[in-house]
Amino acid sequence: MDDTKLRLELRKFKVCVPPCLTDAARCRFKGKLRKMRDVGVEFSAELIEAIHTVDIRGPPTGENNLRNKVCNDSRTPGKDPKRFFNYLLLDPRKTNNLTRRVQQNPNLSSVDILKCFMKSIFYVGKGTGTRAHAHIKEAMDFSSKKPGYKMKLKTIQEIFATPRSNVQPNEEQNYGLLVCEFSKNISNAQALNQEAAMIEGMASFISVF
């Protein structure tokens, strides 16, 4: 892969590559691209920037560096309101009524349930208020012809356009977006730390399965 292609691919993940690269820097950026492709989900620009400005390889030093970086960058002096939360966007076409299937099939293993859940995640984020649901409006207002079209928005649009099977006439005929909110009423720094932990956990999970 030449430097132009590498720069274009990393730009999709909001990673800026300098115009001139040494051999060592080129290898480092290629490694970052491989890791991002392996995870297969999108993350907030704020978190990606934090991750790529500190060395997060290897506990405990990397973990402490990231925590310090996030805390220093995201806190307002003397004030860190606990109004944030973390959330996941899931593709219901991949969960395929997972809760109902678990109820109907008690023999479904925990590993299979976890694999189904993890593979349905296509976005990890943090926010306040109705941030998790704002992606729906973004997707409805966004056109694939606009510059910077995100796969996240394309996925949401495709979900809403996909008909469900075996539905009753009085039920929704197409799929809707699954939003999973958790860890509510935490600080911005805590939300960013948890988002980073989820990235690491999902990368490890994918490498195993």
Task: Write out the residue range of the structural domain in which residue 191 sits.
Answer: 42-209
28 and 115 both lie in a single domain: no
144 and 186 both lie in a single domain: yes
Question: What is the rounded distance in angstroms from the CA atom of residue 164 to the CA atom of residue 175?
Answer: 6
Query: What digits encode the pLDDT tens for the residues 100-111?
Result: 888 898 888 888
119 and 57 both lie in a single domain: yes
76 and 153 both lie in a single domain: yes
132 and 168 both lie in a single domain: yes
Long-range CB contact pairs, 68-76, < 8 A, 24+: 70/189, 70/192, 70/193, 70/196, 71/189, 74/46, 74/188, 74/189, 74/192, 75/187, 75/188, 75/189
The reported pLDDT for the residue numbered 47 is 52
30 and 47 both lie in a single domain: no
47 and 81 both lie in a single domain: yes
Give residue 152's Cα distance to chain centre: 9
132 and 76 both lie in a single domain: yes
pTM of this structure: 0.60
Query: What digits encode the pLDDT tens for the residues 143-183?
Result: 765 555 578 888 999 999 999 887 788 878 899 999 989 88
29 and 64 both lie in a single domain: no
Which residue ranges in the chain fall short of pLDDT 70? 12-16, 18-19, 35-80, 144-149, 204-209
27 and 89 both lie in a single domain: no
